[in-house]
Chains A and B, each alone.
Chain A
Amino acid sequence: MLIILAGLFALSIGAGFVGALSGLGGGVFIVPGLVILAHIPMHIAVGASLISVVATSAGASVAFVRDGWTNLRVAIILECATVTGAVVGAYMAGLISPPILELLFALMMLQSAWFAMKSQGEFLLPQSDVLCTRLRLGGQTPDDDGTMRSYGVVNLPGGAALMVIAGMISGLLGIGAGAVKVTAMDYLMKLPLKVSSATSNFMIGVTAGAGALVFLSRGDVAATVAAPVALGVTAGALIGGRVLPCVNVGALRRLFVIILVLIAIEMGWRAFSRI
């Protein structure tokens, strides 16, 4: 039993650590880790991953919310969209065959690799559009020198539409789909990137929680896998968060992109060989 536990802990601590350093979260690494290395069936890996994503989101959100990076109103409004997608996605996950899920996962990993590679600039929109003003979605973010700067938010319907898709991906594949969420807020709604990342992290808890509840109440979560994985990923994410300020994130991101592409090829190959 000790060998199995040590293996699960090593895998999940590693996934949480790499997920925190790459900014992609643990789910995108834990599912392929469980499927390829631990030979766990895809739907059980997805259930375990969803639970661990809830834990990492809760752990990481504490500082972001306290320090004012998270836009709580944007999160609350967009959660309506992500939670709808997550419930539908998690329900569909029980109906879709594992090779199709693995193929979707491979495609999602390629999108995550693209997201990790793209350049990241900071842009503050001066004013919100009419709908976002009515909902009081604009906010303030601390500048490099600590002064607070206001920003506006636009295009809520476009962002919400992409959030439904992000929620479905999360429920189907057991990941936070943070790459899609940040893209929606950053590109479509013009939120500052750091605010988008912090808000995405906060929302991921509810999105993954909705999916995890479907899996748990369906009896599709194996406690012997999910409990050690949740604890390991949380520990790994905490360590990763502490190490992050001391490492060259640019070089690491390039390495993670290569790893993501290699895992996507492996998952895609496994899927195609069984379809």
Chain B
Amino acid sequence: MDPETAFATAEEDRILRTWTPLILRIILLFSSIVMALGIAQSLAFAPGFFVRRFHAIQSSGQLHARDTVAQLLDEMRHGDPHGTMTIGLYLLTLVPLVRVAFTFGLFLQERDFVYVTATAYVLGALVVGVMLGRIG
């Protein structure tokens, strides 16, 4: 490896090692707070709802009707624990998305196109995953 490439690689690694743990920690903490808030809402305002949902899942595997993110945000605003907990779960799945998006941006800035392609592929696959889930 020539000295220029070695320097650029070391610099990329330094940025990744500084920012990646920060991204992981902040989103994990934020999503945990939202999920804990949803559980607290259940305990305080709708314990019956929680128990009914849990027994329905146990007995028949019956799930809550699928909501859009906009509906979930609306439910959350109105203090519905299901909306708050599900938004917390969505936030948690942002951990890998944001981390990969950050590396994509970094490699793009550094014009490291092999890794731009790799991270773009991973981001694309995550989007395909969401679309496949929507199809069913």
Within 8 A of B (CB), among A5-22: 5
Interface set of B (CB-CB < 8 Å, partner A) = 1, 5, 9, 13, 16-17, 20-21, 24-25, 27-28, 31-32, 35-36, 38-39, 42-43, 47-48, 50-51, 53-54, 57-58, 61, 63-66, 82, 85-86, 88-90, 92-93, 95-97, 99-100, 103, 114-115, 118-119, 121-122, 125-126, 128-134, 136
Which residue from chain B places its CB closest to the CB of A82 in the assembled complex? B122
Q: How many residues of A contact B (CB 8 A)?
A: 63
A222 to B38, CA, bound (A): 13
A4 on the interface (CB 8 Å rule)? yes
Residues of chain B within 8 A of A215, CB atoms compared:
133
Contact A1 B63 (CB under 8 A): no
Interface of B, secondary structure class, is: helix
Closest Cβ of chain A to B13, distance in Å, is: 7
Say whether, besides A55-B92, A58-B27, A72-B13, A44 and B61 are in contact (CB < 8 Å): yes
Contact A80 B89 (CB under 8 A): no
Contact B122 A4 (CB under 8 A): no
The A/B interface has a contact count, at CB < 8 Å, of 193
19 contacts between A and B (CB under 8 A): A44-B63, A51-B92, A65-B24, A76-B122, A79-B100, A87-B132, A94-B136, A136-B5, A206-B99, A212-B89, A213-B93, A214-B133, A217-B134, A219-B63, A221-B63, A227-B38, A227-B85, A231-B32, A231-B35
Contact A66 B95 (CB under 8 A): no
A25 on the interface (CB 8 Å rule)? no
Closest Cβ of chain A to B74, distance in Å, is: 15
Contact A66 B57 (CB under 8 A): no
Contact A39 B58 (CB under 8 A): yes
